[in-house]
Each structure stands twice: as C-alpha cells, then as structure tokens.
Amino acid sequence: MRELSIRSGRAFVIVFAVNNEQSFYEAQSLWSLITKIKERVVSFQRAQNWVDTDMTNASYLETSAKYNINVGELFKQLLIRTYGLANNE
C-alpha cells in the first residue's frame, strides 16, 4: 500500500521529531524508499545545492504536531506549491 501511494504521489512531506533519533532514521528510510520507487534522476547533493543556492520553490518550516504549530501552514503551503492554489482557496 505504501509503495502504491508513493508511485501515485506528486508531493511528499517527510517529518521527524527533532528530539527522537529513531524518527530521524525512519524519515531517512522513507526518503530512500521514495527515491527508489520514483526512480530518482537528480542526486540529493545536486538538489541540496540548488535549494541552498536559489531556494526556488523550496522552504523550511518547523512544525509540531504535539502543539499544533505550523501543521496547517505546512499543508497549506504544500497545496499552494503543488497545485498552484491561491491563499484564499
């Protein structure tokens, strides 16, 4: 089921708890699975350099599901960036 969701997905949000090392490893594992299934053609380093240099259509947003900080904003920004939705839609 997870692989099917990845194959049909257009955008992905990978989250981890900054106070939990295991969740960070699980996020890395999920990223590896996504790049394997989606047949990655751009290396991580190349993409990271691009984001660091231009920040074109990329952002960094810390969230907390526990305290409901920026969770809605994360998905709002994801929809705006993925589907071009305006802020009021």
Q: What is the pLDDT of residue 11?
A: 77
Both structure tokens of 67: 């305290």
Residue 78, CA distances (Å) to 55, 56, 58, 60, 63 in order? 15, 14, 10, 12, 13
Computed over every residue of the chain, the mean pLDDT equals 79
| Domain ranges across the chain | 1-54, 59-89
Q: How many CB atoms lie within 10 A of CB 50?
A: 13
Q: For the chain, give the percent of residues with pLDDT over 90.
A: 9
Residues 50-73, mean pLDDT to the nearest whole number: 73
Q: What is the CA radius of gyration of the chain?
A: 14
Q: What is the pLDDT of residue 44?
A: 65
Q: What is the pLDDT of residue 21?
A: 94
3-class SS string, the chain:
CHHHHHHHCCCCCCCCCCCCHHHHHHHHHHHHHHHHHCCCCCCHHHHHHHHHHHCCCCCCCCCECCCCECHHHHHHHHHHHHHCCCCCC
Q: What is the pLDDT of residue 86?
A: 62
